Amino acid sequence: MSSTTESLNALLASLGQAFDKIPGSAVLVRYVKSSHQNDPGRTVLEVILIIFAIFTLLQSRTRGNDGRHFIKFEDKEIDELVDEWTPEPLAAPLNAFEASDLAAVPIIVGHNGPKPTLARQPTKMIANLASYNFTGLAGKEVIKERAIETLRKYGLGSCGPPGFYGTLDVHMTLERDIADFLGTEAAIIYSQGFSTISSVIPAFCKRGDIIVADRGVNFTIQKGIQISRSTVRWYDHNDLKSLEDVLDSVEKERKKRRGPLTRRFIITEGIFEKDGAMIDLPKLIELKYRKKYRLILDESISFGTVGRTGRGLTELYNVPATKVDILIGSMANGLCAAGGFCAGSQHVIDHQQINGPSFVYSASMPALLAVSASEGIDILRSSPSILTKLQQNIRVARTILDELDCISVPSHPASPIIHLHIRKPTPTLLHPSSAVSAGHSLKPSNPTSVLPREAVNWDWDTDAEERALQQVVEEALRRGVMITRAKRLRGQEMVEARPSIKLALTSELSTDEVKKAVKVVAQALKDVLRK
């Protein structure tokens, strides 16, 4: 026992001597002695700290974001992956349905109009119920002459974004005309109808703001909401009771979180492009004033088609347009020109001149189209008979279509676009699930989910219905009426839309012609769908 302690002592002594020989060891010994200050407890804590610091300094750096997306490949694996890579073709080959769809697109010879000539069938068509030409402005000689004059004066393109030498006097005239027509303070034009609302929404709604949107809004609005990074809550399609519930739940959420008051918006369409339903504007405005939300109303379909002179839903319901905070319309749909506009107070418009992405970065529209739009507004203002004719045609078409039992029509009776869905055979009323599928859900839906509660009951076969509707379209084309299915971006929308045929009525056709054409469509539907 003593020999081991002796050898241990000798070892320690030799270590001490070796340590003393290292230069600077005396300094270290002095430092440790004065730090220690005869207090072993503190020294232990400090030594723990020093060990922790050295341990941390010796660790190697990790990847950012926890390296979640990093996979470490071996060299052999990298070689294998490189060898088996083949580039995808620039244009993916079409599948059978897409190829037949492309082949079935009608080619119009000459100019488009209410009675176009098709390449495949040299005989003249009876009616064109596919193109958006609601008030017949597409073929007016007056507009054509003015457009040609403008083309000779300004050339074709405007050569720049509106903020950078792209604004012409005709653009400013058009903005003034639109503001006067609608009765708002000011208006701003965008050169493409699709990108109008998807620029307006991110200009005003930012991350942290609250958007309450209808579940049936169109693709552009969905994209705008996604770009804006705002918090979205959804309410049932065209259901103001559900909207009120969602507004209440948002307020409750905010109170629970004790968060600050952020900007809040309700986004909806005047006439929905997805199914032609129309909202109840006065009630919506009353609701928005009560709950203190701003309203963004997309009147892409309803501007130029409803109301006494085509001013849209505000004229139809006799509501001043200043009550809608941000009113968006489409000159491509309503005035047969191009582009879209946003109307509102002066502040709303001034903000968009710097902050509307499409306004700042896209070229402004050609002068001749701006002049066509201005002329279109003049024509609408001076001849309200066009609108009465359009409404008459819609009524005639609806009387014929409502009698059919093979289709269901979700559109509003005054809507110029009429969607036709294939009607499924109704289940027997004794079945308990029919109470839910009858349209009134038993529980309120979840505002954070874009799918409504009934989505679990949606069981239509998209491909089969599209094929059936395409057959209807081709049958009607053979008999002389040009109609179309509603073309959708499958797989890209948040909520998949039901396949439908979209009829666009026009005031250019006389009532008898409309009656004849819609009867042909009804017959085609009956013939194809009964099989």
| 8 A C-beta contact, residue 290 and residue 280 | no
> Measured between alpha carbons, how far is 309 from 311 in angstroms, rounded to an integer?
6
Which one of residues 16, 157, 208, 282 is an interface residue with another protein (CB under 8 A)? 208
59 part of the interface to another protein, by CB under 8 A: yes
Which one of residues 174, 232, 369, 497 is an interface residue with another protein (CB under 8 A)? 232
Which one of residues 245, 253, 454, 465 is an interface residue with another protein (CB under 8 A)? 253
Q: For residue 180, give the nearest of 382, 387, 385, 377 by alpha carbon.
A: 377
Q: Which residues pair with 117 in a beta bridge?
A: 109
Stretch near another protein under the rule CB under 8 A, chosen from 35-43, 80-88, 145-153, 301-309: 35-43
57 part of the interface to another protein, by CB under 8 A: yes
Q: Using DSSP, state whether 233 is helix, strand or coil.
A: strand
Which one of residues 21, 72, 256, 531 is an interface residue with another protein (CB under 8 A)? 256
Tokens of 225: 């909401």
Which one of residues 37, 86, 385, 433 is an interface residue with another protein (CB under 8 A)? 37
> Measured between alpha carbons, how far is 30 from 53 in angstroms, rounded to an integer?
22
For another protein, the closer of residues 49 and 438 by Cβ is 49
Q: Using DSSP, state whether 149 is helix, strand or coil.
A: helix
> Measured between alpha carbons, how far is 231 from 206 in angstroms, rounded to an integer?
9
Stretch near another protein under the rule CB under 8 A, chosen from 108-116, 127-135, 229-237, 374-382: 229-237
Site for another protein in 96-115 (CB under 8 A): none
19 part of the interface to another protein, by CB under 8 A: no
> Measured between alpha carbons, how far is 456 from 362 in angstroms, rounded to an integer?
41
229 part of the interface to another protein, by CB under 8 A: yes
For another protein, the closer of residues 444 and 480 by Cβ is 444
For another protein, the closer of residues 13 and 53 by Cβ is 53
> Measured between alpha carbons, how far is 194 from 203 in angstroms, rounded to an integer?
15
Which one of residues 22, 40, 61, 430 is an interface residue with another protein (CB under 8 A)? 61
Which one of residues 7, 14, 25, 35 is an interface residue with another protein (CB under 8 A)? 35
Q: Are strands 340-344 and 186-190 parallel, antiparallel or unpaired?
A: antiparallel
For another protein, the closer of residues 52 and 73 by Cβ is 52
The DSSP annotation for 452-514 comes to: -GGGGG----HHHHHHHHHHHHHHHHHTTEE-EEPP--TTTSSSPPPP-EEEE--SSS-HHHH
40 part of the interface to another protein, by CB under 8 A: no
Stretch near another protein under the rule CB under 8 A, chosen from 183-191, 205-213, 309-317, 419-427: 205-213
484 part of the interface to another protein, by CB under 8 A: no
Which one of residues 231, 268, 300, 333 is an interface residue with another protein (CB under 8 A)? 231
Spatial neighbors of 138 by CB under 8 A, at least 6 apart, are 112, 113, 131, 336
Closest approach of another protein to the CB of residue 62, in Å: 4
261 part of the interface to another protein, by CB under 8 A: no
Separation in Å, CA 386 to CA 315, 508, 517: 15, 8, 19
Q: CB atoms < 10 A from the CB of 405, how many?
A: 11
50 part of the interface to another protein, by CB under 8 A: yes
> Measured between alpha carbons, how far is 445 from 454 in angstroms, rounded to an integer?
9
> Measured between alpha carbons, how far is 206 from 255 in angstroms, rounded to an integer?
20
| 211: enclosing H helix or E strand | strand 210-214
Which one of residues 21, 63, 440, 530 is an interface residue with another protein (CB under 8 A)? 63
| 398: enclosing H helix or E strand | helix 385-402
354 part of the interface to another protein, by CB under 8 A: no
8 part of the interface to another protein, by CB under 8 A: no
Spatial neighbors of 118 by CB under 8 A, at least 6 apart, are 106, 107, 108, 109, 125, 477, 482
Supply the DSSP symbol for 408: E
Q: For residue 297, give the nearest of 245, 342, 348, 334 by alpha carbon.
A: 342
| Residues binding another protein: number (CB under 8 A) | 34
42 part of the interface to another protein, by CB under 8 A: yes
Closest approach of another protein to the CB of residue 53, in Å: 5
For another protein, the closer of residues 474 and 496 by Cβ is 496
For another protein, the closer of residues 262 and 392 by Cβ is 262
385 part of the interface to another protein, by CB under 8 A: no
46 part of the interface to another protein, by CB under 8 A: yes
The DSSP annotation for 67-84 comes to: GTT--PPPHHHHHHHHHT
207 part of the interface to another protein, by CB under 8 A: yes
Tokens 């002459």 belong to residue:
145
Closest approach of another protein to the CB of residue 257, in Å: 6
Compute the residue count for the chain. Answer: 531
Closest approach of another protein to the CB of residue 236, in Å: 17
Closest approach of another protein to the CB of residue 30, in Å: 11
Which one of residues 25, 388, 449, 492 is an interface residue with another protein (CB under 8 A)? 449
| 377: enclosing H helix or E strand | helix 367-382
Closest approach of another protein to the CB of residue 68, in Å: 9
Q: Contact residues for another protein (CB under 8 A)?
A: 31, 34-35, 37, 42, 45-46, 49-50, 52-53, 56-57, 59-66, 206-208, 226, 229, 231-232, 253, 256-257, 259, 448-449
